[in-house]
Amino acid sequence: MQFEHLVIFLLLHLTVFYFFLFSSSINQSADSGGTDNFVLISQLKEEVMSLKRLLQQRDQTILEKDKKLTELKADFQYQESNLRTKMNSMEKAHKETVEQLQAKNRELLKQVAALSKGKKFDKSGSILTSP
């Protein structure tokens, strides 16, 4: 942004300089001073063109970086979405496993309580005989 202001500043001064030179050259004859002015004008034109080219290059660089940033943001959002989906799936699987283990634990506690009272169980956990 500061570079653009510099270019605008130089263009404005160059315009004022042109006005000054042309208004003074009307009053001057075509002497060596007029030729020097045209050389200076040519140099200033070249400098302005150079600055414009540099500005265009910087604009292009900014556009390329902006495009890359947009691509990176899109990739990040895609990866974040995939990770959230994976995390939710893992959380659901974990919850199901915990529920299964808690159910198994309750069943085993029932068997322990029944065994303490003297009841017998088969391998599936069913009561065989009661005293």
What is the mean predicted confidence (pLDDT) over 5-14? 72
pLDDT tens per residue across span 38-97:
888 888 888 888 888 999 999 999 999 999 999 999 999 999 999 999 999 999 999 999
Select from 71, 13, 17, 72 the least CA-distant residue to 41: 17
List the single range of 24-38, 62-76, 116-130 with lowest mean pLDDT. 24-38
- Helix/strand number for the chain, H first, E second: 2, 2
Contact predicate 43/10, CB 8 Å: no
Q: Please, are residues 94 and 87 in contact by the beta-carbon 8 Å criterion?
A: no
Other CB atoms within 10 A of residue 56 CB: 10
Q: Taking 60 as the threshold, does the pLDDT of residue 24 lie above it?
A: no
For 15, the enclosing helix (H) or strand (E) is helix 2-27
pTM for the full predicted model: 0.49
Question: How many residues belong to the chain?
Answer: 131
DSSP letter (8 states) at residue 121: E
The answer to whether 21 and 41 are in contact (CB under 8 A) is yes
Instruction: State residue 128's pLDDT score.
Output: 61
Residue-level pLDDT at 101: 97
Higher pLDDT, 76 or 2: 76
Per the DSSP assignment, residues forming a β-bridge with 120 are: 129
**Three-class SS state of 120:** strand
Judge whether 79 and 87 are in contact, CB under 8 Å. Answer: no
pLDDT at residue 37, as a whole number: 79
